[in-house]
Homo-oligomer: A and B are copies of this chain.
Amino acid sequence: MSRADCRENALERLCTLLGDRCSREAAVREARAGDASWHSGPPPDVVVFPESTEEVSAIAAICHDARMTIIPRGTGTAVEGGVIATSGGVCLDLCRMNRITAIHPQDRDAVVEAGVTRKQLNAALLEQQTGLFFPVDPGADASLGGMAATCASGSAAVGYGTMRDNVLGLTAVLADGRILRTGTRAGKSSAGYDLTRLLVGSEGTLAIITEVTLRLSRLPRAIVAGTCAFEQEDRAVAAVLDVLAAGVRPVRMELLDAVQMAAVNAYSQLGCRESPTLFFELHGGPAAVAEQAEEVERIFSACGGFEVQHATEQAERDRLWQARHDAYFASLALRPGGAGYVTDVCVPVSRLAECVRRAREHLQHTNIPCPLFGHVGDGNFHVVFVIDPHSAAELAEVRGIQARIVADALALDGTCSGEHGIGLGKLDALEQQYGETLSAMRDIRRALDPLGLLNPGKVLRMPE
């Protein structure tokens, strides 16, 4: 059978398996050509909508036989091009795997299919009055499978950790259709290799995550949230370090620069002072939270902060954090028709001030809008360049600046990606970061997917 015949035969088998959940319609394919960033590519050849792990396994086996590539996809809210079908292939859309399989309140865990979104899970936890929530909050209402695949984190990571810390186990399908069940619901385990953490952050290149077992957290008894504006950015960054050094454990600690504050004011009608601003939140018992809030205010004031604006009601807090989480869209609104190119470095907190200072030097000569903001409580920040997606010159300019910001972060003992992953956008950066260590990553990828069928072109360049 010729390669084309073999492919047609496989597509027929997919249609037989899935019926109208296998689509070659242009609109369906084109809706899955990109992600939330400037990255774009050709649409996939076909889109499949499995409803169970067993169906994913059957799809993988069919694709394996025909040497067709598979690009797993959640909500498409990531920004490094990780879901783009660079060489066509089968887009495996997990949105119909959206059942909450089990919630175990006593053990504080939940088992969900990969397409369940974090808001969907939190709504169910609230409705069932469990007193629990899932704390990892990347802003977007992303699918939990996608969040596991990219090791998402977001604003609450400084308090509750990242997906790495909050995924207890996975069900996943290998390129040849084998089904893996990793981890356990036990609180800890030393049983064999930690495939769970290997797959968390592997961006669909080692296996297709179909089910996730998540650690839940207790809803805090008390919450204090607020904002504090500063005249100078470096003083705001210094305040973050002082807060951490004082033993305060913020749950969120975010910096938005003056440009970002203006963008957020315009987009979310926040009415804040348009100068560098820290957003923070504390969780705990009432006494502990009140004590920590006082300490935070004292430190902010000592670092030249203006008066802290408290968000005491839940509705106010929701509005505040929604505005923070919409910062990316607020940035895009600075330039109609623009597309977002986001940097995402993370450094040890002691090096954060230096990294931000150097980034400012790299940014001072560009005319492209480029607000800076991020999860400074764990040393992570972003610059969103709002580029003209049709301008090769702008893309080249931004690539140059990103390369300099990444080089700084690596020189300061940091990482080229705090939370967005590698996708297509950071292939060079990962090579700079890990050098020879990448050879072991390639060995592992080749071992689990010898034909190179899972999300090709992402994370690592694989020699033919």
Contacts and interface: CB of A to CB of B under 8 A. Distances in A.
A436 B195 CA distance: 13
A357 interface: no
Given A192-B459, A350-B107, A444-B444, A187 B202 contact: no
Contact of A448 (B288, B443, B448): B443
Contact of A106 (B104, B245, B284, B426): B245
Interface in A111-155: 150-153
A150 B285 CA distance: 36
Contacts of A200: 194
8 contacts: A184-B415, A188-B380, A189-B346, A190-B201, A191-B422, A195-B440, A207-B440, A287-B291
Given A414-B184, A447-B446, A178 B440 contact: yes
B346 A186 contact: yes
Interface stretch (A84-92, A157-165, A316-324, A325-333): A157-165
Contact of A193 (B107, B201, B287, B416): B201
A378 B188 contact: yes
A437 B188 contact: no
Given A106-B349, A287-B288, A437-B180, A378 B187 contact: yes
Contacts of A440: 174, 178, 180, 195, 207, 448
A379 B186 contact: yes
Contacts of A98: none
Interface string A367-380: 00000000000111
A418 interface: yes
Contact of A192 (B109, B179, B194, B460): B460
A37 to B, nearest CB: 15
Interface in A209-241: 218, 221, 241
Contacts of A193: 198, 201-202, 206, 441, 444-445, 459
Q: Which of A164, A185, A417, A422 has the most CB of B within 10 A?
A: A185
A5 to B, nearest CB: 31
Interface in A431-464: 433-441, 443-448, 459-460
A459 B192 CA distance: 6
A308 interface: no
A194 B202 CA distance: 8
Contacts of A344: 190
Interface string A403-424: 0000001000111111111100
Contact of A188 (B107, B157, B181, B441): B157
A159 B426 CA distance: 36
A191 B447 contact: no
Contacts of A291: 285, 287
Q: Which of A192, A201, A460 has the most CB of B within 10 A?
A: A192
Contact of A418 (B158, B186, B346): B186
A76 B433 CA distance: 34
A170 to B, nearest CB: 10
A197 interface: yes
A247 interface: yes
Contacts of A187: 157-158, 346, 348-349, 378-380, 418
B109 A348 contact: yes
Q: Which of A179, A187, A414, A416 has the most CB of B within 10 A?
A: A187
A182 interface: yes
A94 interface: no
A190 B419 contact: yes
A95 B38 CA distance: 52
Contacts of A188: 153, 157, 162, 164, 346, 378, 380, 415, 418-419
A165 to B, nearest CB: 7
B444 A448 contact: yes
Contacts of A47: none
Contacts of A379: 186-187
A173 to B, nearest CB: 11
Nearest to A416: B191
A439 B179 CA distance: 10
Given A186-B413, A285-B288, 4 more contacts: A106-B350, A107-B348, A188-B380, A190-B417
Nearest to A180: B437
